[in-house]
Amino acid sequence: MGAAIEVNNLNAWYGSNHILHNIGISIPANQATALIGPSGCGKSTFVRCLNRMHETNPIARVSGSVRLGGIDLYSDMEPVAVRRRIGMVFQRPNPFPTMSIFENVASGLRLSGGLRRRQMEEICERSLRRAALWDEVKDIWKKRSGASLSGGQQQRLCIARALAIDPEVLLMDEPASALDPISTSKIEDLIFELKADYTIVIVTHNMQQAARVAEMTGFFLNGYLVEFDATTKIFTNPADKRTEDYITGRFG
């Protein structure tokens, strides 16, 4: 099951650059939440704060609180534990080229260890099915490298890899921006199905995509969360003038 995320007063810096200002947002469980905004508005940094990836850069800094099901990710948990509960899919597919498709999906499971190979294969098969990739790879998944797949397949492989360790939240940082329209629509269909079991946060440049997949949408501008509301409300009757300007294409 997915879990809700409660963010309060979140600030993030990159060196002396103040990137996120006092972000407060309640991301509902088992729904897809889209984050939109022009390039450089801080939406990617924001999702990277949710699984504590932002701080992996030596000059990056974060303050504020992020709660997952009531537990503070920053004061009560180790980063490694956070990332096992909050999975992430990146903009560009990044399978491990030296591993087979199976090994790619199993890579997260191997970190925790303690699984028999049979169990590992079952979990990996289930994850590949959930990521709608199983039918395309079932004959080659032990033999071929993860890098031998097409771009769209690679991205679904990365989704399967993230799902294998059974997180509660799935963060997707522009997961379809490097893909063709057919692969994109496959990923969108997938997001629809995954909502049943996971909380999904998706960063996107594509407003139609946000409208198609997400119940809630947040609009970021210059490091501030300008507006956060039901997707239909954001796209039909936004409360803020800047949101309206952005969705009607006046800038961005």
Exactly one of 44, 100, 184, 243 binds another protein (CB under 8 A); which one? 100
Exactly one of 162, 200, 202, 221 binds another protein (CB under 8 A); which one? 162
Q: At what angle do helices 151-164 and 101-112 cross, to 10 degrees?
A: 20
Nearest-angstrom CA–CA distance, 134 and 128: 5
The reply to whether 120 sits near another protein by the rule CB under 8 A is: no
The reply to whether 108 sits near another protein by the rule CB under 8 A is: yes
Query: Could you give the 3-state DSSP secondary structure of residue 36?
Result: strand
Exactly one of 17, 119, 150, 236 binds another protein (CB under 8 A); which one? 150
Quick one: which of 238, 195, 236, 190 has its CA closest to 215? 195
Exactly one of 9, 22, 26, 98 binds another protein (CB under 8 A); which one? 98
Beta-bridge mates of residue 62: 12
The reply to whether 161 sits near another protein by the rule CB under 8 A is: yes
Nearer to another protein, 14 or 224 (CB): 14
Nearest-angstrom CA–CA distance, 239 and 31: 22
Do residues 229 and 215 lie in contact, with contact meaning Cβ atoms separated by under 8 Å?
no
| Residue ranges binding another protein (CB under 8 A) | 51, 53, 56, 80-84, 87-88, 90, 92, 94-100, 107-108, 110-112, 143-145, 147-150, 158, 161-162, 165
